Amino acid sequence: MDTSLVVAVLVNLVVSAVAIGLLMAVCLILSVRLKQWSFIDTLWGLGFVLVAIVSFSIAGESGHPQRKAAMLLVTALWGIRLATHLFRRSRSVGEDPRYTAHMRRRQGSVVGHAVRTILWPQARIMWFVSIPIQLAMYENAAMDILAWGGVGLALVGITFETVADLQLSRFKADPRNRSAIMDRGLWSWTRHPNYFGDSCVMFGLWAISCGHWVGFLAVACPAYMTHRLVNRNGKALLERRMSRSRGPAYAEYVARTSGFIPRPPRRAKADPTAN
């Protein structure tokens, strides 16, 4: 990238940070009024769409039109689907237990605690993980095999999590499954098909941004997001809660089902701590 493009990218990074900050301000207002802090989950996917739209607009004539359009469309497809799904889920199940626990441990005012422990962490992660989206808008190289592969990988991820969410919704809608563990369909191949799908999308978006060597450096963004999905707020947190509430039944499910990357379920029982 020449000097002018470097400056343009830096400006884009700053403007995207401001846009995310404004989105979090809207989230704060809505959360206070609705008294439901999990509203941030609905805005998570939309935040990436916002960054893509802002970056696409700011880039103007910079970047290859096909690469920019691919990044914008894939991001929008993923973000809007995710936001729609999480909005419907929040209306049916109410507040997420994670946020209830956060607010129980609050220190100081409710708003101050929410900003420090929920909104600010989400905002900085969103900004960092969205860097490949921003970079792609300034890369002049035409779409190549890697970029199209990224589109394909992202679409696989979107399809994977869409199917998994539909399967889980139908499972929960049956009263006979009230105390059962979902271990059918994609959920028999991985305990977290939705998180796996999200990871595929993130690495797919990164691949689209690899029209310049700078884009390759941004692999840290999807890698960090996958780390959080597996080891921090996603898989690890959910499984601790499931282990406490479901006990031996969940341990058996863990023993026969992959923790993240899909594979056929084990036929014989294995060590419940196996991953």
Residue 206 has a pLDDT of: 97
Res. 268: pLDDT tops 60: no
Q: Across residues 148-176, what is the average pLDDT?
A: 94
pLDDT band at 97 (very low <50, low <70, confident <90, very high): low
Residues 129 and 225 in one domain: no
Residues 91 and 149 in one domain: no
Q: Across residues 20-48, what is the average pLDDT?
A: 89
Q: Across residues 62-72, what is the average pLDDT?
A: 96
Q: How many CA atoms lie within 13 A of 133 on its CB side?
A: 31
Where a domain ends, among 113, 141, 169? Answer: 141
129 conformational bin, left if phi > 0, alpha if psi -120 to 50, beta if neither: alpha
Residues 118 and 183 in one domain: no
Residue 105 has a pLDDT of: 66
Q: Across residues 78-98, what is the average pLDDT?
A: 82
Res. 101: pLDDT tops 70: no
Res. 114: pLDDT tops 70: yes
Where a domain ends, among 107, 141, 175? Answer: 141
Query: Rounded to two decimals, what is the model's pTM?
Result: 0.89
Q: Across residues 93-103, what is the average pLDDT?
A: 66
Residues 2 and 133 in one domain: yes
Residues 42 and 127 in one domain: yes
pLDDT band at 270 (very low <50, low <70, confident <90, very high): very low
Residues 104 and 167 in one domain: no
- Indicate the number of domains in the chain: 2
Residues 237 and 158 in one domain: yes
Reduced 3-state DSSP string for 58-76: HHCCCCCHHHHHHHHHHHH
Residues 94 and 168 in one domain: no
Closest CA to 226 of 125, 81, 117: 125
Residue 94 has a pLDDT of: 64
pLDDT tens, residue by residue, 177-204: 888 889 999 999 999 999 999 999 999 9
Res. 129: pLDDT tops 60: yes
Closest CA to 129 of 228, 21, 9, 235: 228
pLDDT band at 150 (very low <50, low <70, confident <90, very high): very high
The answer to whether 67 and 151 have CB atoms below 8 angstroms apart is: no
Residues 177 and 118 in one domain: no
pLDDT tens, residue by residue, 206-219: 999 999 888 899 99
The answer to whether 182 and 250 have CB atoms below 8 angstroms apart is: no
Where a domain ends, among 111, 141, 171? Answer: 141
User: H-helix or E-strand containing 244?
Assistant: helix 235-246
Residues 114 and 171 in one domain: no
Q: Quick one: what percent of the chain has pLDDT higher than 90? A: 61
pLDDT band at 41 (very low <50, low <70, confident <90, very high): confident
Residue scoring higher pLDDT (5 or 66):
66
Residues 99 and 111 in one domain: yes
How many other C-beta atoms are found inside a 10 Å radius of the C-beta of residue 21?
A: 13
Residue ranges making up the domain that contains 30: 1-141
Mean pLDDT of the chain: 89
Residues 131 and 184 in one domain: no
The answer to whether 206 and 219 have CB atoms below 8 angstroms apart is: yes
